[in-house]
Amino acid sequence: MLALGGAAVLPANASVLDKIEELSAEAPAKKIDLSLTVLLSDIHICGEFNEDGKPAHYPYNPTSLQICIDEILAMRPLPANVLVFGDVAWDYGLEEDYRYAAELLRQLEEAGIRVTLGMGNHDRRAAFFKVFPQYSQSTPVEGRVVSVVKLPDVDFIMLDSLTEKPDLKPRQSTTVSGTISDEQIEWLKDYLSKSDRPVILGAHHPLSELRNLTKMLEDSPTVAAFIYGHVHIWNKSVSIIRPRKPQHMLPTVALPATFYGDIGFAVMRTSPNGAKITYSSKGFWWPQPEDNPPAEWLQRQKDLANEECMILF
């Protein structure tokens, strides 16, 4: 019985064989694949509501995110992890935004999927920590939302690239561009120097904005790839950051959003030799969905329907 997912209490009129058959039928539906990870970004959830009960801003965003959540929950096997690459909040990082996002994402956690959130330029750490206090306790870099997710064949590190202006008012926009704090760079150097496993790095902002991180990675051959959000498009490319060295190319992957641009998520499957990332397209719109989308939008979705990339370890 334990091999089927745990002990079970048998009703008096049921035989052991009947119960084993029942649990066997349920087991595949609940199976979680530790090597399977879903990558989400830019969900932009608004927690303020109008009188009609709809979000006051971007009312289609929760619906779009729910479509992605439903598809993730229908995966067999289920992914062990879902990573969200920042811009969890709709614009100003309000506490109510995070509460509503937590309510939506709880569906994944209740299915046994671990959800890890990152910081984007529309997020605010103080409000985020109020709703998700566990991040202030687990982060290895005080005051930043940094997470290490141990996958079977690789370590995934989510860095915090949010640049917050000091003395921000509740509804004031902060800096759009990103930075990685010196404290994160020093912690990452130490982590990589002690690790004998391949590492994939992630952050909200593209590597092109994170100059100090790019410089550090010149001497970090164990870093196999960099994944980011922010641009709201699916894009795979390489950065030449290790000149005159065998591993001079660093694969970079830009993720879709649920807000506008390329809509959907990516699925990453890891193995001892590398990772394959596949884009699951749910459409394209700019800046909001339309009942009769232009042909160019439909063509964009068609062109990206089977997009994937490989990362070698």
Domain boundaries, the chain: 31-312
Strand, coil or helix: 272: coil
Order of all β-strands in the sheet with 261-271: 114-117, 78-84, 32-40, 261-271, 274-285, 308-312
User: What are 150-190's pLDDT values in tens digits?
Assistant: 999 999 999 999 999 888 888 888 999 999 999 999 999 99
User: What are 32-75's pLDDT values in tens digits?
Assistant: 999 999 999 999 999 999 999 999 999 999 999 999 999 999 99
Report the Cα–Cα distance between both ends of the chain, in Å, rounded: 38
Which CATH superfamily includes the segment(s) 31-312? Answer: Metallo-dependent phosphatases (3.60.21.10)
Residue with tokens 């694949």: 33
